[in-house]
Structure formats: C-alpha cells, structure tokens
Amino acid sequence: MADQELDKKIRTVISVQLLIASVIAVGFYVFKTPWDAVSSVYGSSIAMILAWWLSRGVSSAAQHNRGVAVLYISAALRFLMVLVLFGIGLGAIKLSPLATVIGFVLTQLGFAASASKR
C-alpha cells in the first residue's frame, strides 16, 4: 500500500517536472535557438533523473530497513552524477551553459514545489 502511494507521488512529481521542462524548451525554441531548447531539455533531464533516483533510494531504504546509510550513499552518488552529466553536457557535447543550467534549476524547483505538497 505504501509503495503504491509512493509510486503515485513519484509519477506526479515527474509529471510536473516534465511539464516545466516542456515549457522551458518551447520558450528557448521560440525566443532563442533550437540548440538552446535542446540544452534546456538536457538540464531538465538531469533534474528528472535525480528525482527518479531519489525515489528509488527512499524506496530501497524503506524496504531494506537500512534507512540513513542508503540515503546518504544515494545522495553522494546523485551529487557525483550531476557533476558528471553537466561535465558531459557542457564539456563534451558543448551545450549552451545558460539554457542547460536554467532547465536544470527550474525543473529542480518544480521537484521541490511538487514534492513538498501533501
């Protein structure tokens, strides 16, 4: 029962993030360039992956009764993943830095806003 409730909340959070990411991408496409839109989608995708990974960590911690240790390890891995993904996007792919960061930040704010609702 608790797993179904958690799954429903996760779907809601990711749906809100997807909506925000779409609006940002359309805005960049219309007012800037298509490459900026792609860059914002990349940044937004990082935020959505983080939300999904956090939900897996919380679920795993609850199922295995390892609570705090699993959450700390998951947080450290998520932080490293953000650094690696931004490094790939900005360094290797040469995405637009401003659009990538705006996509990430606004989508992450959407996560915070929708996750804090009860």
Average pLDDT over residues 14-30: 95
- Cβ-count burial 99-108 (b if 16+ within 10 Å, e if not): bbbbbbebbb
Residue located via tokens 């947080």? 75
pLDDT recorded at residue 65: 66
Residue 21's pLDDT band (boundaries 50, 70, 90)?
very high
CB atoms within 10 A of CB 31: 9
Instruction: Retrieve residue 53's tokens.
Output: 């990974």
Q: How confident is the model over 30-59, as a mean pLDDT?
A: 91
Of residues 13 and 57, the one with the higher pLDDT is: 13
**Residue pointed to by tokens 């909340």:** 9
Task: Locate the domains of the chain by residue range.
Answer: 2-116
pLDDT for 2: 59
pTM above 0.75, yes or no: yes
Q: How far, in Å, CA of 102 to CA of 47, rounded?
A: 11
Q: How is residue 89 annotated by DSSP?
A: I
